[in-house]
Chain A
Amino acid sequence: MSETEKNIDNVKVMVIACARSVNLEGELSGLHGRNLSGVDNAYVVQVPCSGMIQPRMIESAFNSGADGVIAMGCQIGDCHFREGNKFCRERLLGVRPPMIKKTVPKNRLKGLWMSEVQVNDFKNRVENFKKEVVEELKLEVKKA
């Protein structure tokens, strides 16, 4: 499938999420429980803390066919492990090593900082992010 055919019905989004942020209990479906219920083509993989998200995990998501990647942790200021989400955010902003490779499409990479109780808000944002990704892909195709 070439990039030009990407639209809201087929963009794929990978959310690498802190297990303590949005409570996804009962919100995940699919064979291995990695599909986000209610949002098509959105997948979730959880880690103990967003601070564990290595730049390589983000790269591998893009390499495996994700059109957009979200790194999600708790609200900034509140991290169970004190500084995980802060560090993750700084990596996304490119100010904390290890750095994310230049080849990673930064405009299709997003940080989300939400708490356990914000499930619905979270789903809306993923849905919106898909739209942003489609727009971004269109721009990228134009530029190319």
Chain B
Amino acid sequence: MISVVLTKIVREGQKVLLRIEDILNKILGSEQNVLYYHGAIPNFFMWMLFLSGLLLFAYYTCTLEAAYQSVEYITQKIPFGDMIRGIHRYAADAMMLAVWLHALRVYLTDRYREYRIIAWYSGVALTVMMLIIGISGYILVWDERSYIIVKMMSEFLGALPFVGETLSHAFINDNVISNYTMSMSFFLHAGISLSLLVMLWIHYMRISRPLVNVTWAIGCLLAGIVLVVSALFPATSGPEANFTVEPTYFDIDWFYLWIFPVMKAVGYPLTWLIVLPALVVVTILPSLIKSKDHEAANVNANKCVGCKLCSVDCPYEAIYMAPRNDGSKFKEIAIVIDERCAECGLCVGACNFDAIELPFNLSPVVMDDIRMALEEGAEPVAA
């Protein structure tokens, strides 16, 4: 049941996307069609963030006493400091937005399950990592918003049964906010940012030649948008955090801080009860649609000459070349890793020796179909 509904959603969504794609192709041409760079765009923003983050880091001081002032100094005194800060803030929003659109597209085009399962799981992990990076980043500014975030976050973590206690101490030592809170936040912010690269490597596993870079034109366009937004809406701090006053209101970055209004509205335990199941559902989404029977491509050892063409063309790194010692005059043979195979047939198209076949779509059958269609066609057929 659920499988049928989901399949239907995917199919209809796909049609909508294809129409948009068609229009964009007519305007931009397929070379510059932003839709075709849905995975590369978040990447582009990530590099913008690394770069602007590095520049901010040069003047940032990570202590309770000096953090706020150092951010103000960067914003007001350093040439283009406000610009860099703005870029760092809005590129982060743009990255999150791009990630959601990327996820939506792979979901609607049905490119997220079976042989792409690793990309889906790692994608979910990447998104969670981004949230942590974002939230900890907002602590580093150390304005009133940072103060509320630290307070609410440690209470939120504390609300978890069993592990809550320990987790909340990760932020606040013995119930006092100290420099420890700052270095922890910095560690989360910068450390997890760097681990994004590791997770991305996992994200690209089993994908031959991943498309990770946007074109120059698209890059300039995206950078331009971020620049304009940062000029129009400069990123600013609230008043410096002050332990004696309980702040009541702060600006919310809806891309990263949405969880705080949720906590405020429904309380900590209920927030957990919403967030955790939601995360589980998103993670298992690929398993909710029944897969069709799987039969990987297979290689005919008698015909394979070890030319490597199939292993080069396979888009999912499902074929490797192994040395052979079965008395054949050829040195290598293609081996298919069954569970990676998408049954796409690219290897069949690449093989000039009829040595690799899809069991459900044998190329001799295709050839017969072609011949018969043309021969039958000579007779009149009923419409």
* Contact residues in B for A61 (Cβ distance below 8 Å): 370, 374
* Contact residues in A for B22 (Cβ distance below 8 Å): 75, 115, 117-118
Q: Which residue of A lies closest to B31 (CB)?
A: A77
B122 within 8 A of A: no
A60-B371 contact, Cβ under 8 Å, with A82-B207, A84-B344: yes
B315 touches A30 (CB 8 A): no
B361 touches A65 (CB 8 A): no
* Contact residues in A for B315 (Cβ distance below 8 Å): 51, 81-84
A116 touches B376 (CB 8 A): no
- Chain B contributes a number of interface residues (CB within 8 A of A) equal to 50
How far apart are the CA atoms of A75 and B361 in the complex, in Å?
23
Which one, B2-10, B189-197, B273-281, B350-358, is touching chain A? B350-358
- Contact bitstring A3-42, B, C-beta under 8 A = 1, else 0: 0000000001010100000000000011110110100010
* Contact residues in A for B19 (Cβ distance below 8 Å): 117
Q: Which of B25, B209, B351, B377 has the most CB of A within 10 A?
A: B377
Q: Which residue of A lies closest to B361 (CB)?
A: A48
* Contact residues in A for B382 (Cβ distance below 8 Å): 29-30
A80 touches B366 (CB 8 A): no
- Contact bitstring B336-376, A, C-beta under 8 A = 1, else 0: 00000011111011111010001001010011011111111
Q: Which residue of A lies closest to B372 (CB)?
A: A32
Nearest Cβ on chain A to B305's Cβ, whole angstroms: 12
Nearest Cβ on chain B to A30's Cβ, whole angstroms: 4
A117 touches B15 (CB 8 A): yes
Nearest Cβ on chain B to A61's Cβ, whole angstroms: 5
B21 touches A52 (CB 8 A): no
* Contact residues in B for A34 (Cβ distance below 8 Å): 369, 372-373, 376-377
How far apart are the CA atoms of A31 and B378 in the complex, in Å?
12
How far apart are the CA atoms of A76 and B351 in the complex, in Å?
22
B376 touches A54 (CB 8 A): no
Q: Which residues of A, 57-112, contact B by the 8 Å Cβ criterion?
A: 57, 60-61, 64-66, 75-78, 80-84, 87-88, 91, 97-98
A47-B345 contact, Cβ under 8 Å, with A52-B361, A75-B21: yes
Nearest Cβ on chain A to B306's Cβ, whole angstroms: 14
B21 touches A78 (CB 8 A): yes
* Contact residues in A for B111 (Cβ distance below 8 Å): 80
How far apart are the CA atoms of A64 and B87 in the complex, in Å?
62
B370 touches A64 (CB 8 A): yes
- Option from B31, B36, B316, B367 in Cβ contact (under 8 Å) with A56: B367
* Contact residues in B for A91 (Cβ distance below 8 Å): 349
Q: Which residue of A lies closest to B19 (CB)?
A: A117
Report A's interface with B, CB cutoff 8 A. 12, 14, 16, 29-32, 34-35, 37, 41, 43-45, 47-49, 51-57, 60-61, 64-66, 75-78, 80-84, 87-88, 91, 97-98, 115-118
Question: Which 3 pairs between the two chains have the least Cβ-Cβ distance?
Answer: A52-B345, A81-B344, A98-B352
Report B's interface with A, CB cutoff 8 A. 14-15, 18-19, 21-22, 25, 30-31, 33, 35-36, 109-111, 207-209, 309, 313, 315-316, 342-346, 348-352, 354, 358, 361, 363, 366-367, 369-377, 381-383
5 contacts between A and B (CB under 8 A): A43-B373, A48-B345, A52-B366, A75-B21, A98-B351
